[in-house]
Amino acid sequence: MQLNTQTTVELNFAQHGDEGPPLIILHGLFGSARNWQGIAKQLSDRFSVYTVDLRNHGSSAHADSMDYRSMAADVLFFMQQQGIDSAVLIGHSMGGKVAMQLALSNPERFERLVVVDIAPVAYKHNFDDVLEGLYHVPVDSIKSRKEADQYLAEKITTLSLRQFLLQNLVTNSAGPYQWRVNLTGIEQSMPAIMGFSSAADEVFSKPSLFINGGQSSYLSARYRPAATKLFPQALFQTVDGAGHWPHVESPLEFMAYLNAFLKH
């Protein structure tokens, strides 16, 4: 992949450990680097772990577009800035698609790939209900996070999802609340975020692990042929009973699969 620094954005990151080889973790849609700090700390005795905020998320810069090649270019720029020649990649959901794009476009830069509950396919559904909920919160006038949750609950009934989304609610220097995610950029780019495409000659032939939640449909069995076509060394593990966030819902089982893969 050609790196055009004029279109890349600078990514905020946190580093855990500095002894072992580099390992980069990419979060999912509406997430941030801190979602993965618990996993990062567990890996920090063997790796130099970097958790990054992807564009339009966390404390990273905002941009109008959010296609996967652009987001992959951001990560390559980050690696260039940090002097990282090669790394292990872990990506969840949207971050998993960024990780797959990176591995396919730049296989020489990555040693292993871990994809969490996502497949290299286009999905038909979208996150319009989540966006509607976030837009529904009058961030300029609310006085507390509890009040924000009350507005959010009018559109989103699942408490755990609201708690996840409210991690993006921050106060700005002027006092009122604001969403730190770029809602407009995400909304405009939703077709690209839900899609995925790769060049005909792109393949990643190094070890790859796909971990899915047993209660999630994002990486169901019907999507595995698409994954093995692009990642011929792919292994698949299911965290039974978990949904779309197996690393949060069943962290012990998730870490067992991850550690076994990383030891080889």
Catalogue all structural domains in the chain, each as residue range(s) with its CATH number.
Answer: 13-123+195-263 (3.40.50.1820), 128-187 (no CATH)
Please write the tens of the pLDDT for every residue from 23-35.
999 999 999 999 9
Task: Find the mean pLDDT for residues 226-230.
Answer: 97
Whole-number percent of the chain with pLDDT over 70 = 97
* Residue 3 pLDDT exceeds 90: no
Band the pLDDT of 211: cuts 50, 70, 90: very high
Q: Edge-to-edge strand order for the sheet containing 234-239?
A: 13-16, 48-52, 22-26, 87-92, 110-116, 208-213, 234-239
Please tell me the predicted confidence (pLDDT) of residue 198. Answer: 85
Q: Token pair 């961030």 is at which residue?
A: 139
Please write the tens of the pLDDT for every residue from 15-65.
999 989 999 999 999 999 999 999 999 999 999 999 999 999 999 999 999
* Residue 6 pLDDT exceeds 70: no
Please tell me the predicted confidence (pLDDT) of residue 4. Answer: 52
List of residues 6+ apart from 1 with CB closer than 8 A? 69, 72, 73, 76, 105, 106
Query: What is the rounded distance in angstroms from the CA atom of residue 224 to the CA atom of residue 234?
Result: 9
Task: Find the mean pLDDT for residues 242-253.
Answer: 94
* Residue 99 pLDDT exceeds 90: yes
Query: What is the rounded distance in angstroms from the CA atom of residue 87 to the CA atom of residue 21?
Result: 7
* Residue 2 pLDDT exceeds 80: no
Task: Find the mean pLDDT for residues 126-148.
Answer: 93
Please tell me the predicted confidence (pLDDT) of residue 172. Answer: 76
H or E element that contains 210: strand 208-213
